[in-house]
Amino acid sequence: MPRPSQLLHPQREPAPTRPAATVLLLRDAADGLQVLMTRRSKTASFAPGAYVFPGGGIDPQDAVAHPLATRRPTQSDAHLTQAIAAIRESFEELGVLLAHRADGHLATPADIAALQREQPLAAQCAARGLTLAAANVYVLAHWITDRDLPRRFDVPFLVARMPPGQTPVADEAEQFEPVWVRPQDALTRHAAGEFFIIFPTIRTLERLQKYATVDAVLAACAGEQPLWTSCPRAGFLAGKEARYMEHEMPYGELQLVSPDGQIVHALDWQTERPVPLLKNLQRLTAPNPGFMTGPGTNSYLVGDPRTGHIAIDPGPADAAHIERLWRAAGGDIRAIVCTHSHPDHAPGAPLLQRLCAGKPPILGLPSQPTARANSAFTPDRSLQNNELIALVGQGPEGEITHTLRVIHTPGHAANHLCLLLQEDALLFSGDHILNGSTTVVDPPDGDMTAYLDSLDRLDAACAEHGVDFILPAHGHVLGFARRVIANLKAHRLAREAKVLATMRADPDGTMDDWVAKVYDDVPPQVWPVAKRSLLAHVERIQATAPGND
């Protein structure tokens, strides 16, 4: 993690979470899967006026009621307590009862009419020979309320089939207007401003859309583990709050800039000014957005006024961008490092060098003969694998250092390198790891075996130095560094398995034939670029085939 001294904002402890449980009651209808939702009171302390699934806080008595509930052999104590809480809340709020009679049949409306919503449910059921149907309740997801909110809950989203013959009736105190709705219809109405729902509800409904029946949902939940777990983070986008889950592209950047979850960071891409990420880290994005560059090439400045700065990937030869980069460093740039020689990364280096007093050295690795003509690059000095590039200064607290470790990572390009900021455990990945897409491995300068080996090298470095964040040359900061690397390698190997299967099924096919089959999950306009990585996979497969070792 970054040093606390380098964080941009004072940190505060998020509000503690309270245990709760929510249940999605589902039914099959002629037009598809439907879920039961109700509107919260407009005076509620949490999500007033929002349409929600029934649920609420977990009471100590929910755990005591275990003997009064059915249970799956694989259902943990915690999940059993949560299921009992969800059953109790759905009864108190909507008069829906998930319970069995002594003869094994589900509770009837007559059974429900004999119970009082204001009285403890489990004891009433026991007195009437009813058993809570906790074995019918499954875990769908696990949500933890965002760190910026004053009221926070740790809540499983559970699912259960709506008991036949029962009609939901809102308590008219906490819940109003029960409604059966298809997930896609709820989302459409919300987008039109007619059906207010909050972020976890939106994301849950989005994922529920892919299921056609209740059976399909329950089958997906049979593993007893949540299908996803999330504690969202928020930033500003176009001046408005925007929230994101862990798998979404801006999440890592919000995690880096504001670990405690305060909403302080703007996510809009802009090129006119640097974006501070830490006190010793700024990003300035070049105005070269496009299909291959995403929002543009990220140039980074590491350092501060006490130590001077190192510029990483000055980008294309865009005079205005280079001047903005120079000004963001206060003119004090001690070294310029290019992760590789591609034309959106290195050509700006000589322009930046000429602006700086003292002519800071341009560092990197020279392009190889395999590089394309527009990627020719010769640094002032070649870097060595594991070499350290250090900035040192003095402050009130004593010596301050920012040290970059060089990691040679061929694959995307033969002269590609990554940089690890040791004191803050940050990895600058150049084009080896991107946010939002996989990088192109383009032979002959690109090599798939070298690329995969370099991923292993980066994973080992992240493990050794405790790296959580990856700063790519294109896209927002990535969190969960080792997970990202593992997923990226798994994706490449899965793609390679698809390549091999296609080659075996169509041994006389052309690259154009193969790319249409191997990359049938991406738009055809991507195929010309994908064909370069396809070639890299083919060359790797051929090189490792029996008889070629």
Lowest mean pLDDT, pick from 34-48, 333-347, 398-412, 523-537: 34-48
Place of tokens 């080896």: 432
CATH topology of domain 17-226: Nucleoside Triphosphate Pyrophosphohydrolase (3.90.79)
H helix runs in 346-473, sequence order: 348-355, 448-465
User: What does the alpha-carbon distance between residue 535 and residue 510 come to, in Å, rounded to a whole number?
Assistant: 11
The yes-or-no verdict on residue 46 having pLDDT over 90 is: no
| pLDDT (0 to 100) of residue 547 | 63
Helix (H, G, I), strand (E, B) or coil at 345: coil
The yes-or-no verdict on residue 549 having pLDDT over 60 is: no
Would you say the C-alpha torsion 218, 223, 228, 231 has a positive or negative sign?
positive
| 271 pLDDT tier (thresholds 50, 70, 90) | very high
**Peptide bond between residue 444 and the one before it cis (omega within 30 degrees of 0):** yes
| pLDDT (0 to 100) of residue 475 | 96
> What are the residue ranges of CATH 3.90.79.10 in the chain?
17-226
Please state, for a pLDDT cut of 70, what percent of the chain lies above it. Answer: 99
The yes-or-no verdict on residue 124 having pLDDT over 80 is: yes
Closest CA to 91 of 65, 55, 139: 55
- Show the tokens assigned to 86: 């969800």
CB 398 within 8 A of CB 296: no
Q: How many CB atoms lie within 10 A of CB 513?
A: 12
Q: How many CB atoms lie within 10 A of CB 236?
A: 14
> What are the residue ranges of CATH 3.60.15.10 in the chain?
272-483
The class level of CATH for 272-483 reads alpha beta
The continuous run of DSSP H or E covering 502 comes out as helix 481-505
pTM (two decimals): 0.92
Amino acid at 98: L
User: Residue 151 pairs with which residues in a beta bridge?
Assistant: none
Mean pLDDT of 463-492: 97
User: What does the alpha-carbon distance between residue 166 and residue 112 come to, in Å, rounded to a whole number?
Assistant: 9
H helix runs in 329-447, sequence order: 348-355
**Model confidence pLDDT, tens digit, residues 155-172:** 999 999 999 999 999 888
Mean pLDDT of 55-60: 93
Residues 6+ apart with CB under 8 A from 488: 433, 438, 455
The yes-or-no verdict on residue 44 having pLDDT over 90 is: no
